[in-house]
Amino acid sequence: MTVDEIATAGKQGSGKAPPPDDAPHVLVVDDDRRIRELLKRYLSDNGYRVTTAEHAAEARARLEGLSFDLLVLDVMMPGESGLDLTRDLRQKSSIPILMLTARGEAGDRIDGLERGADDYLAKPFEPRELLLRIGTILRRTQAAGARRHDEINLGPCRFNITRGELWNGDTQIRLTTREIQLMRIFAANPGKPLSRLDLCDNEAAERSIDVQINRLRRKLEADPKNPLYLQTVRGEGYALMPD
């Protein structure tokens, strides 16, 4: 993508309404002011909220004060390079990163990916390709986030809330219907002590809770007599303590 191509694409999209407040928020980091502004206009015209930064230090300040869904980062910048910033961010953040660079050699692309970039786009590139890559990254990361939100981890085990499945590594552990119901109640209240009455819908079922908990512990815990994940809270009931 050349400066003229960005400008032309931006003119073609001009006149559109501003992106909504819940649109994905992109941080564009490039030391070329004109490139920054043109990318901001082009991405805004295509439905993204956009903030810009001139260099790595400014990008850090933006990241501390705002929440972003994706980082579009130029590799060649004065001072701290995009590669160095990517490596540092990966130690404390999982924000998706799309790297832009004029260096298109395979070794440079591999270097960026090894430091934690999600994708790598060499200049020049078509404006539409930038949009497609951003969209692909966001769909992939959002799907991964949804999967994580749908599961809770309990040491080597994980419980999928929607499917009602308990797995230990690649092995599925069979749960009864009642055990699935209990796990879903616990999963909706992680770390919160729940009484026997919270865990059932009648007094008759309340009397069987202790038996059900012991059975679940044998499936969840390495040492059911000293549970780490399905704990007894004295005077209150039971609590699920996921990772």
CATH number listed for the domain at residues 151-240: 1.10.10.10
pLDDT above 70: residue 157: yes
Residue 123 and residue 39: Cα distance in Å, rounded?
13
145 pLDDT higher than 60:
no
Cα–Cα distance measured from residue 7 to residue 1, given in angstroms and rounded to the nearest whole number: 10
Q: Give, to the nearest 10 degrees, the angle between helix 3-12 and helix 127-149.
A: 70
Cα separation, 131 vs 42, in Å, equals 10
Least reliable range by pLDDT among 38-42, 133-137, 158-162, 209-213: 158-162
- Location of each CATH 3.40.50.2300 domain in the chain: 3-149
* pLDDT at res. 102: 74
Tokens read off for 14? 């001009």
Residue 108 pLDDT: 67
Q: Which two tokens stand for residue 49?
A: 């909220």
DSSP type of residue 208: T
Which pLDDT score, from 0 to 100, does residue 5 have?
55
> Which architecture characterizes domain 3-149 according to CATH?
3-Layer(aba) Sandwich (3.40)
pTM for the whole structure: 0.57
Torsion, CA 36, CA 37, CA 41, CA 46, rounded to 10: 0
pLDDT in tens, 201-241: 655 567 788 999 999 999 999 999 999 999 999 999 999 99
